[in-house]
Amino acid sequence: MAGTTLDDYTDRYARRVRGMTASEIRALFAVASRPEVVSLAGGAPYIAALPLDAVGEMLGRLGSEHGATTLQYGIGQGTLELREGICEVMALSGIDAACGASPEDVVVTVGGQQALDLVARLFLDPGDVVLAEGPTYVGALGVFQAAQAQVVHVPMDSDGLIPEALETAIAEQARAGRRVKFLYTIPTYQNPTGVTLTEERRERVLDICERAGLLVVEDDPYGQLGFESEAPAPLRARRREGVFYLSTFSKTFAPGLRVGWILAPHAVRDKLVIASEAQILCPSGYAQAAVSTYLNTMPWREQLKVYREVYRERRDALLDALTDLMPAGTSWTKPGGGLFVWATLPDGLDSKAMMPRAVAARVAYVPGTGFYADGSGGGHMRLNFSFPPPERIREGVRRLAGVMEQEIATRQVFGAVRGEGPRRRAGSDAPGPALA
Amino acid sequence: MAKTAADRPELTEPAAIDDLHVLVLAGGLSYERDVSLRSGRRVLDALRTVGMDVELRDADIALLPALAADPPDAVVIALHGATGEDGSLRGVLDLCDVPYVGCDARASRLAWDKPSAKTVLREAGIPTPDWVALPHDRFSELGAVAVLDRIVDRLGLPLMVKPAQGGSGLGAAVVRESAALPAAMVGCFAYGSTALVERYVPGMDVAVSVIDLGDGPQALPAVEIVPRNGVYDYAARYTAGRTTWHAPARLDSGVATNVAEVALAAHRALGLRDLSRVDLIVDADGRSHVLEVNVSPGMTETSLLPLAVAAAGLDFGRVLSTLVARAAARRP
Ligand SMILES: Cc1ncc(COP(=O)(O)O)c(C=O)c1O
C-alpha cells in the first residue's frame, strides 16, 4: 500500500520549492495578531498617521472621475506622471537630473519587492553569488533564494558594511572561482539593524565595487525617514553608472498601494520593462494614480515630517526601555531613522529557542535567524518601533526582559548549552507581511 | 471484542440538523494558534457542506457577550493547546449552559496533563512507556546533572523529552546520548514549566481516532505515520508531502484489533466523550504503547482524525454534524 502524502505534486515541484515547509517559528507569529500580544515583530508603518479622510476622498474621486483611465491597462514602465513624481521624490535625497536621474530611466514596480525580483531575474543565474550585509532584509533573501543564487554575507558594524570585509569577501569568492554578480545593500537605516553606512565608507564601498567590476543594488526604502539629521546622500547620488537604485512608497506613504520603483542605467531599463511585463503586464493604474495624485495635490513633504516625528518618539521609547530593562550583556543599535532596532543577546541565548517563552509572555519579535541566508543570527533579534505606541513598546520590552531572564536561568541550570547550530534557512523564520 | 469501524456505524440524520446554530471556536493564544485556525476553517467548511448554520470565532474578549446574545445550540472546540484542552474553556462553557462536542472539563484537564493521564492509564493496565515528570524548579534545586544522570540510569537511552502539556510535537526531542539531554531539556522548558521524560519505544507510530456516533465509542482505522525525514516534527506534520500516512496502518489484523482495543480502553479510562485521538507506538512484537491522548484532535488538511474518518468510508461533515447534534441534545 502506497499511503498518501496528501500532496500529489511532490515529485513535480521545481527545485527551488524544496525549502518551502511549515515552520513552527512562523506559526508562533500567529498569536501576534491578538491584541493581548505586544508585537515588536512587524514592519508595518503607522498608517493611522496619514490624513485618511483626505486620502479616502482622493481615492474615491480617482474611481468616479478618472476611472476610464485609472481602471484601464497601462504601459509596463508605469505612467509618465508618476515617474516624474518619483524623480521629484528622489531629488529630495540628492538623486536629481544633475546625476542623470530622469523619468525615462525609472520603472514603476509593485512595491520594492518586485523591483528586487526584477533585478534578480535580469542578473542572476543559478549558483551566482550575491554579496549582502549580514544581516539583511528577509524579503531579499527570499528573492535570491528563489533565483537559486548564493548569498554571501559581509559583516557590518555600527558604521554599516565594513569595507575591508567587503574586499576580503570579493577576494575569497574570486579565489573560489565563483561569480559574484552584485552587492545588495541597504545603506541607510537598514532593515533589520537600523544602521547607516557612513559618508566616508560610502565612497570606499563604491570604489571597491567599481574596481572589482561589481554592480551595486542600492535598496533605499527608509532613507527619507531620518530623525535627527539628513542621511548621507544615497550611493546613486554619487555614481551615475553601476548603481541600481530601488525604493518604494510603502514606508513614506502607504504599503497597501504596492508602488515602488527602480532607477536603472539606460541600457538596462528596456530589459527591466520587458521582464516586468512578463511578470505583471503593467503596474496597477489605480495605485499609480493614487500615488501621483497624492504627490501632486497633498502635502507629502509635511507627511514625511509627521512620520519622522511619530517614529522618533517611538524609537526613543524603545531605546529608553532597553536601557532601563534589558539584562546585562544585551546590546543594541541606536538607529538614526527607519523602523528597526537590532538587539544582540547575552552570550548563550538563542532568540529562536526563546520564541515560545515570548508567546507565553505575550510579546513578539523576529529572531535574527530570519535575516541570514545560512540561518545563523540566533544571538540577535529585530525589534520594530514604528507600529506600537510608546507605552506598549515599553510594556513589550518589560515582557521581553522577563523572557530573557527565564531563559538565562534555565540555561544556567542545565549548563550553558548552545542552541542548535546554524541550519539551512527554510525561508520561514520571519513573519508574513501582514503582521503589524 | 472491541467495536471497530468494520461494523460501520450508522450516521443517523437528526431531523433538524440544519436548524442547529453551531459555533466553531478556533485560534486562542496558545503556541498552536495557527494549527487551530486551520482546524477551525476545515470544521467550518465540513459543517457548512452538510447544511449546518455555522459560525467561526476566536476565544477572546468578545466570546462571552456573543454567547449571551445569541446562544449557539452547540460549540465545536477546534482550539488546540491550553485554552482548548486544559478544561478551563469547557468549564466556562458549562457556566454558560452551552453544550460542546467532546469530553467534559474534568476529563479534559486529566488528559491534557500527560503525566496525570499516564498514571491513570497505567493504573487501568494500559501500557504506556516508563516516565518521569519533573518541573524546572526540581532541576535547579537538586542540580540538573545529578537528576539527569539518575534519569538516564533508570530509563536508559534513547529518551523522549517533551513538555508535560501541549501538542504538535512542539518542544519535543528524541535524545540518543546523554550529552544531548541538557539541550533537549532547555528546548522543552521553553514550552512549559514541567518536562516529561519517557523511555523511547521504537516501533510504528500510529494514531487511533475514537468517535461515538450514538452507540458507544468506535475505533476508526489506525493511521500509520511515516515522516520522510524520520522525525514527525512540526514541518512534517503540517507540510503536505513531508509525511506518508497509511490508513489503515499496515498491521496484521490481530495487531490492528489489539491497537483498536487499547485505544478504546484509553478513551474510556480517561472518561472521554464524543471523540479523541490516541497516539501509540506498536513495537516489533506487535505490542501497543499509548503515548498520549488528545481531546481536541487536529482537524487540518494534514491531520490524522480526518484521514481516519475517510479510511473508515465515512463523510467528515456527516460525522461532525452527528457529534454536534449529540452535543446539542445535552443542552440543559
Ligand atoms: C529593505 C527593504 N526592501 C524592500 C522592501 C519591500 O517593500 P515593498 O514591497 O512594500 O515596497 C522592504 C519592506 O520592508 C524592505 O525593508
Note whether B186 contacts A: Cβ–Cβ < 8 A.
Answer: yes
Q: Which residues contact A14 (CB under 8 A, 6 or more apart)?
A: none
In angstroms, the CA A216 to CA A218 distance is 6
From chain A, the residues in CB contact with B140 under 8 A are 409, 413
From chain B, the residues in CB contact with A30 under 8 A are 33-34, 37
pLDDT above 90 (res B6): no
| pLDDT, position B239 | 85
Catalytic residue among B294, B296, B303, B321: B294
Ligand 1 centroid – CA A191 distance (Å): 9
CA distances from B209 to A263, A289, B125, B240, B307 (A): 59, 56, 20, 20, 9
What percent of chain B has a predicted confidence (pLDDT) above 90?
A: 85
**A136 CA closest ligand 1 atom index:** 1
> Which DSSP symbol is given to A432?
-
User: In one letter, which amino acid is B254?
Assistant: G
- Ramachandran assignment for A281, one of left (phi > 0), alpha (psi -120 to 50 degrees), beta (any other): left
Ligand 1 centroid – CA A365 distance (Å): 18
CA A189 to chain centre: 10
The three-state secondary structure class of A433 is coil
For cell 475517510, the residue is B310
Q: Which residues contact B79 (CB under 8 A, 6 or more apart)?
A: B25, B26, B27, B28, B30, B36, B59, B85, B89, B296
| pLDDT, position A436 | 57
Structure confidence at residue B8 as a pLDDT band (50, 70, 90): low
pLDDT above 50 (res B145): yes
**For chain A, what is the total number of helices (H) and then of strands (E)?**
13, 14
Q: What is the pLDDT of residues B284-318, one digit of tens each?
A: 999 999 999 999 999 998 899 999 999 999 999 99
From chain A, the residues in CB contact with B60 under 8 A are 34
Bridge partner list, A130: A151, A182
Ligand 1 centroid – CA A364 distance (Å): 20
Note whether A31 contacts B: Cβ–Cβ < 8 A.
Answer: yes
State yes or no: is B229 an active-site residue.
no
**HEC states along A384-413?**
ECCCCCHHHHHHHHHHHHHHHHHHHHHHHH
Nearest to A410 among B60, B186, B242 (CB): B186
- Report pTM: 0.92
- Gap between the terminal Cα atoms of chain B: 34
State yes or no: is B279 an active-site residue.
yes
Ligand 1 centroid – CA A113 distance (Å): 6
Measure B223 CA to nearest chain A CA, in Å: 10
Measure B247 CA to nearest chain A CA, in Å: 7
Catalytic residue among B192, B198, B292, B303: B292
State yes or no: is B168 an active-site residue.
yes
**A114 CA closest ligand 1 atom index:** 9
CA proximity to A403, closest of A338, A327, A335, A337: A327
Structure confidence at residue B1 as a pLDDT band (50, 70, 90): very low
Q: Quick one: average pLDDT of B40-61?
A: 96
| pLDDT, position B10 | 55
Structure confidence at residue B7 as a pLDDT band (50, 70, 90): low
Please classify residue A386 by burial: count the beta carbons closer than 10 Å to its beta carbon, then call 0-12 exposed, 13-18 middle and 19+ buried: buried
Per-residue pLDDT of chain A (436 residues; tens, 9 = 90+): 578 888 888 788 888 887 777 787 788 888 888 999 999 999 999 999 999 999 999 999 999 999 999 999 999 999 999 999 999 999 999 999 999 999 999 999 999 999 999 999 999 999 999 999 999 999 999 999 999 999 999 999 999 999 999 999 999 999 999 989 999 999 999 999 999 999 999 999 999 999 999 999 999 999 999 999 889 999 999 999 999 999 999 999 999 999 999 999 888 999 999 999 999 999 999 999 999 999 999 999 999 999 999 999 999 999 999 999 999 999 999 999 999 999 999 999 999 999 999 999 999 999 999 999 998 999 999 999 999 999 999 999 999 999 999 999 999 999 866 554 445 454 567 777 776 5
Enter the ipTM.
0.88
Pairing of strands A363-364, A38-39: parallel
Give the residues surrounding ligand 1 with Cβ less than 6 Å away: A 43, 111-113, 137, 139, 186, 191, 219, 221, 248, 250, 255, 260
Which residue's CA is the nearest one to ligand 1's atom 5?
A112
Note whether B237 contacts A: Cβ–Cβ < 8 A.
Answer: yes
Pure H helices in chain B: 33-49, 63-69, 82-85, 88-95, 105-112, 114-123, 136-142, 144-155, 181-189, 234-238, 253-269, 304-311, 316-328
Are A24 and B168 a contacting pair at CB < 8 A?
Answer: yes
| pLDDT, position B52 | 94
- HSE, CB side, 13 Å, CA atoms: give it for residue A31: 26
| pLDDT, position A377 | 95
Q: What is the pLDDT of residues B221-247, one digit of tens each?
A: 999 999 888 888 888 888 888 899 999
Bridge partner list, B192: none
Note whether B229 contacts A: Cβ–Cβ < 8 A.
Answer: no
How many beta carbons lie within 10 A of that of residue A219, not counting itself? Answer: 28
Catalytic residue among B39, B108, B168, B209: B168
